[in-house]
Amino acid sequence: MYFWKTYPSPVHLKGKTAEELAVELKAISPNYAKGKAEMILECVEKDGNTHRDFQASRDFITQSLVRDLEH
């Protein structure tokens, strides 16, 4: 849930390196390794531009759903 709350859409990962993402995710769960972070970033890159109309609202909804699930 941390991932979706922090990165509700791919644009939030822009400029993030696999090393930075791995360190960040490893703090949440020790199961995350650099390979998993590389895979996430590779999938985002392959997916291309996913920015849609009202992206800020879409991101807010995603983050709101995560907050609801956390409660």
- CA torsion angle for 8, 66, 58, 43 (degrees, to 10)? 30
Instruction: Please say if the pLDDT value at position 64 is more than 90.
Output: yes
Confidence of residue 59 (pLDDT cuts 50, 70, 90): very high
pLDDT per residue over 5-31, tens digit each?
999 999 999 999 999 999 999 998 888
* pLDDT at site 29: 87
What's the rounded mean pLDDT across residues 37-64?
90
CA 62-26-40 angle, to 5 degrees, is 55
59, two tokens: 């991101």
Among 69, 66, 71, which residue's Cα sits nearest to residue 3?
A: 66
